Structures are given as C-alpha cells and as structure tokens.
A and B are shown apart, each in its own frame.
Chain A
Amino acid sequence: MLAVARAVVRRDLLLALRRRSDVATALLFFVIVASLFPLGVGAEPNLLRSIAPGVIWVAALLSSMLSLGRLFAADHADGTLEQMLLGAAPLGVVVSAKSLAHWLVSGLPLVAIAPFIALQYDLAPGLYGVLALSLLLGTPVLSLIGAIGAALTLGLRGGGVLLALLVLPLYVPVLILGAGAVEMAGAGLGPEGQLLLLGALLVLAAAFSPWAIAAALRISME
C-alpha cells in the first residue's frame, strides 16, 4: 500500500516537473495578488503591517485553489483516474498521495515565498517564523479540503467556478486561524492557541478527507 502511495506521489511530482509552467503560474499568481495590495492601499506602514497576515493568507487560499481544478481533471480526461479506481490499493491511499503531491508543488513553495512577500508589508521581524509555521500547518488542510471539492465537481460544466463556491467557505476556519496566529503574535499574546488549533484541523483533515475524496470520486466516475 505504501509502495503504491510512493509511486503515485512520484508520478505526480514527475508530471509537475514536466509541466513546470502550470506550477509556476499558481506561484506567480500568489506573488502578484499579494503584491497588488501595497500598490492599491498606499504605502502607509502601519496599515500595511496590520493587513499583512490577512492578505498573504487570502492570496495563499486563492493560489492553492487555482491548481485544484487540475488535481483530478487531467487524470479523468486521459483515463488514468479509472485505473486508480481499479488499483490494488484502497482509493483513499491513492487520493491521500495525490493530495500530498498537490501540497508539495502548490502549498510548500508558498511557505518559502511568503516571508519575502511579507517584506513588502514591513512585517515585524519576529513574525516571519509564525507566518511560515501557520502556512506550513494550514496549506496541507487547503489541499485536502480542496481535493474533496475537486472530486465532487469532476466532469461538471463550469466546474471551476462551482469548485470555488464550494471550497472557499470551507477554507474560512483555516484563514481565520492562520491569519489570527500572526496577528496574535504581533499583539504580543502568543500564537500557540491558533497554531495548535491549525494542527488539530490538519490531523482531522488528514484522517477524514481521504475517505470523503474517495467517495466523491466514485460518485463522479459513475
């Protein structure tokens, strides 16, 4: 079972490597959206400092969603998804591996880029670590929850917009906790509470969403 999961992760990473432009688009999107705000609201340092966590987190949500449409759609179109449904490993294992691969190419890079974006907002020096840590805990949840939506909207007309409507409300707790952690740390109150809750969300999502994704895929593939 683990061998199958490893093979699926390797396959998806290899595919991402062969289609670097797709990956780069989502990351550039994140950089551009997050850079638009200082241009739009003006260069007032206190205002920028106070909106930084929220803006960076919203940009991360949108960027993570941008690549969700491809998570299953490409495999659905060329028939490889059928083969995954007929694989020797439980479908839950396969979709967990696919979600992990999605996070590795669309979530993990955000954790690395975000501190540089935060420079534009003049974030206090002590908060970079908290921002990165909150993204590190939160972005896998985005991939897992998003995969449920991607599986449910698979093969539907206008699935992309529907996916956004379906998934964005479910991202709200992650957004509140993630941005809240950085704000709490900024106010000197300590981010531990929010970070622990984010961690709990991650554990919950990792435990339950694979089965939800698998069930949604089976329905979509009927």
Chain B
Amino acid sequence: MLEAAELECERGARTLFRAVSFVLAPGELLRVAGANGSGKTSLLRILCGLSRPSAGEVRWNGEPIGSIREDYARELVYIGHAPAVKDDLTPRENLDISCRLAGRPANALALAEALERLRVPDLPVRKLSQGQRRRAALARLLVSQAPLWLLDEPFATLDVQGISLLNDLLEKQVDGGGAVVYTTHQETVARSTRVVDLGPGA
C-alpha cells in the first residue's frame, strides 16, 4: 500500500540519507532505526507528506502522495515528536478536535472509552505530565480506523504499562490489516518487525 522509492533527504548542505526504498504491505510493522541525527524524523515527515524529499517519491496505492493530498491524509494517523495536544484544552476536547480534523468525528462515548483505557485524567493538558500528554496523543490511535500509522518515537516517556498497551495496539493494528511505520530507540516490540536502518548519521 505504501511505497517509498529512492528517497533522498538533504538538510542544508549535508545529505541525511539517500536511496531509501521499501514497500509496506497491509499487516506489516516497519521500524525506522538509526542514530540521533540520521534522519528518522525527516523520513517520517516525508512519508506523511509534511516535507518533500529532495529526490524520490512516496506512493500510496500507486499514486504519488503529492497529488492525492487530502485523500491520503484521511488514510493515515501521524503522531510526531510534539504530542499535538493544546495545553488549554482537556484531553477529551483535544481528541474530539483531532477526530474532526481527520474527517472522522467520533461520538462522546468512543472518546471517553479511549481516554479511559489509556488512563488519561480529565484535566486541562497543562496539568498533565509528559507521559500523560503522550498518552493523550496516542488516544487518537484508539478512535481512528485509518489503515496507516506513522509514529515518531511513540514509546518515549511512556511507563511500562503504557509501553505494553501501545504494543497491544500496534499488534491489533497489523492483525487487522493495517500498517505501521514507527521510530524508536528501544527494542521493546515483541513482534518481529522489518527494519529500515538509516545508519549512524551524518
């Protein structure tokens, strides 16, 4: 479904990576490995269409993602470094607006259940810890039906219980025919995954 062809990324004058190619089929879990500064986040941003590769192309079901922007956006959940939750809103309001932006409004019950399962307290996000913020962001995975997840360091700041919960979520997603691309430094995922290694960095 997702296809990366000969991707190359330049930041300033230096090349972060070149000739990165892979094909992601439904039910696959792909881990992007590499040292700090090797371009893991840049690769994920290219895959979701936030930045453009300096060479190469990303295709979704055979179509270049640049030409099917909104249709592609409906098919994916991207959770970046910043958790994308507003400090002044509660986790539930945050989750509600993310669902609406993604074009799939969820009912109140589904929102409450997702946050309950991730044990996010119903306080303004300002009062939550980093790990709880991360959980509030990850709640989007529970309410989304998107086939593709692009997760940048999803395990960061999570506790043991959070990590195992996220592992369950990832397994459920790939069992249901979805696909996941994620970056992590931890080798925590039980399921055997494919790895794209970006090397030691520039």
B105 touches A79 (CB 8 A): no
On chain B, the residues within 8 Å of A7 by CB distance are 97, 100-101, 105
Q: Given the complex of chains A and B, what is the CA–CA distance between A8 and B88 in angstroms?
A: 15
Q: Which chain A residue shows the least CB distance to B84? A: A79
Given contacts A4-B103, A90-B70, contact A11 B76 (CB under 8 A): no
B52 touches A78 (CB 8 A): no
On chain B, the residues within 8 Å of A90 by CB distance are 69-70
B51 within 8 A of A: yes
Q: Which chain B residue shows the least CB distance to A18? A: B88
How many residues of B are in contact with the other chain, CB < 8 A?
A: 31
A32 within 8 A of B: no
In the assembled complex, the CB of A28 is this many whole angstroms from the nearest CB of chain B, namely 21
Q: Given the complex of chains A and B, what is the CA–CA distance between A70 and B93 in angstroms?
A: 20
How many residues of A are in contact with the other chain, CB < 8 A?
A: 25
On chain B, the residues within 8 Å of A221 by CB distance are 50-51
Q: Which chain A residue shows the least CB distance to B76? A: A86
On chain A, the residues within 8 Å of B105 by CB distance are 3, 7
On chain B, the residues within 8 Å of A8 by CB distance are 97, 101
B81 within 8 A of A: yes
Q: Write out, one digit per residue, whether chain A residues 1-31 have a CB within 8 A of any chain B CB (1) or not (0).
A: 0011001100100110011000000000000
Q: Which chain B residue shows the least CB distance to A94? A: B101
B81 touches A88 (CB 8 A): no
Q: Which chain A residue shows the least CB distance to B140? A: A83
Q: Given the complex of chains A and B, what is the CA–CA distance between A82 and B55 in angstroms?
A: 22
Q: Which chain A residue shows the least CB distance to B49? A: A86
In the assembled complex, the CB of B8 is this many whole angstroms from the nearest CB of chain A, namely 15
B86 touches A80 (CB 8 A): yes
A89 within 8 A of B: yes
B-side residues, CB < 8 A to A, are: 48-52, 69-70, 73-74, 76, 78, 80-89, 93, 97-98, 100-105, 124
Can you spell out 15 A-B residue pairs with CB atoms less than 8 angstroms apart?
Answer: A11-B86, A11-B89, A15-B89, A18-B89, A18-B124, A77-B82, A79-B82, A83-B84, A83-B98, A87-B101, A88-B101, A89-B103, A221-B50, A222-B50, A222-B51
- Can you name 6 extra interface pairs (CB under 8 A) apart from A15-B89, A88-B70, A222-B50? A4-B101, A18-B89, A78-B84, A87-B70, A88-B103, A94-B101
